[in-house]
Structure 1
Amino acid sequence: MGIEALPADKLALEGMVVQRAECRPAVSESYMKLKKLQIEESTKPLRFSQKLEKAITTNYKPVSNHSHNVEYEKRKKEEGKRARADKQKVLEMLFSAFEKHQYYNIRDLVDITKQPVIYLKEILREIGVYNSRGPHKSTWELKPEYRHYEEGQEDEEGKME
């Protein structure tokens, strides 16, 4: 059994309990004062209201429209509504995008082509497959007949053998 010193003058005791003992404090005036203070402390509310002498002026005042929202609105107005481009042009943009990556989500394709989502989905249904599950969930990929990059990989593998 050992006693070791802890920070802030606290003690720790190590050992095995061999016999049980019950201890009662000596009921004295100092003990009663201690208990009274403990009870008063426990009954105090955790939160309380306080009257301030003067108004606090360091608070931030509400803003009706933040600067980043104004910038976003200005940019949206400049770009205007997305106009439908020629279908062939959109197809070329999509094929060039799919040459870089095999899978894209719809948001990325909208950013690349600058086309309305509905129009883009019409075109993608013709040339692509939507992955609704699996590792590439919520993404589009080209249909096998439009994937020329896979055939290129197969040709290279055939040459190696």
Structure 2
Amino acid sequence: MAEQEEVVEPLHLELEDREVYLAKIPTALGASWKNVQESELMLGSIKLEKKSVLGRRKGMLTVNPSTLEDDIPTEYRIEISETPLKLKVFSLDGSGRMAIEGTVKNSCTVMAQRNDQYSKMCKQRLIKSMVKTRIVQPLEDLPRVKKARIQFTIEKPDAENEEDDADSKLLDKSDKKIKMSKDELKNLVFHHFEEREYWPLKELNYHCRQPESFLKEVLKEICVYHRKGPNKSCYELKPQYKDGVSSNA
């Protein structure tokens, strides 16, 4: 019995020379735009500055509020730069027709503008991430734990050091940070990586406000640390975790 030859569909190249942008946008914004039903609805408007000496352009994106859900910000910073990679945009419709829709000439990164609206969204996300699901478990199902007596001996401080010790306790109490769970911290870190691709440890911890050793432990699991190059001493999400930022052409 003769083998059937595989049928290869033609690839349509009429639009190959059309220039397109590769846009990286926050997940929440991309999800809202995917739910827009009206094809003719304007998503937003962009104002661009003049191109810099390095060939980059900065600007502002103002999103149409009617295309957004919940309390997603409407103002975003954008950075446009030429891409050295030769990327093509493919499409495949329901009939099996394959085509190249254009060539990527520029990449565009969209980042939320830090304002009151953005701060409110961050606060709400943090509160949601800290809500834990409560379960009811009968006491007889819990593992039995043997009780043990622990004795502590606390030495009384010298009189001359009592004042210094009191000041030290007050300082420690005021600087004490509330430690999150590992999952809560991961959610917060993922959120900040929606704004930027690269973060130095000190700057990231300024926003997270967690013990530095705890933050480094989490970053070691989900990030790559750059020891040299243009992003030296910065962390970047590992490829498998970069679904926190959606890419659309």
Taking structure 2 as the reference length, the TM-score comes to: 0.30
With CA pairs under 8 Å and 6+ residues apart, which has the higher RCO, 1 or 2?
A: 2
Bigger CA radius of gyration:
1
Taking structure 1 as the reference length, the TM-score comes to: 0.45
Which structure shows the bigger proportion of residues in strand conformation? 2
